[in-house]
Structure 1
Amino acid sequence: MTVGDGHSEDMIMIKNLMKKFRNFVTVNDLNLTVREGEIFGFLGPNGADKTTTVCMLSTLTNFDAGEATVDGHDILKEPLNAKEG
């Protein structure tokens, strides 16, 4: 669903996100949706790859599989627009 300005109501959308370092899978099949106006906390123990996930969403680190959008912008195809979101 979209709102009047053409942007998605889902501010962050992650589907089946995966990140590997060599042969070790660190983020495996992550699915997450944060809607516009929601407050979201990303909690977990040390080593749970919270920082890796945030780095992928902010385009500082590439991911190996899946898809992610920020404010309706694909972070691989439109990284600058996703950052401006």
Structure 2
Amino acid sequence: MSERRPIERIAADLRRVRRTLAGFEPGTSAVKKIAARQAYDALLVEACAAVEVEHRLRTLHEGMDRDLERLRLEECLRERGLSV
């Protein structure tokens, strides 16, 4: 059985990567933006597993549906007490 990281650490990492995503300057390379989004999504998946929230991030391609799923998950996590 694999050990899960403390939820507080996951939440802190989510906030850190979210700030990174929000702080990209115009002209930031697409590679950096994609990598940060992928890191954020991986953290969302980890947080969802920790608090038992179902998600569809692994099945949705980049685009509006995936963006909406991120927003939905952020709200679900907030409802469970995680500050993201």
Q: Which has the higher helix share?
A: 2
Give me the TM-score of the superposition, normalised by structure 1.
0.27
TM-score, L = length of structure 2: 0.27
Higher strand fraction: Structure 1 or Structure 2?
1
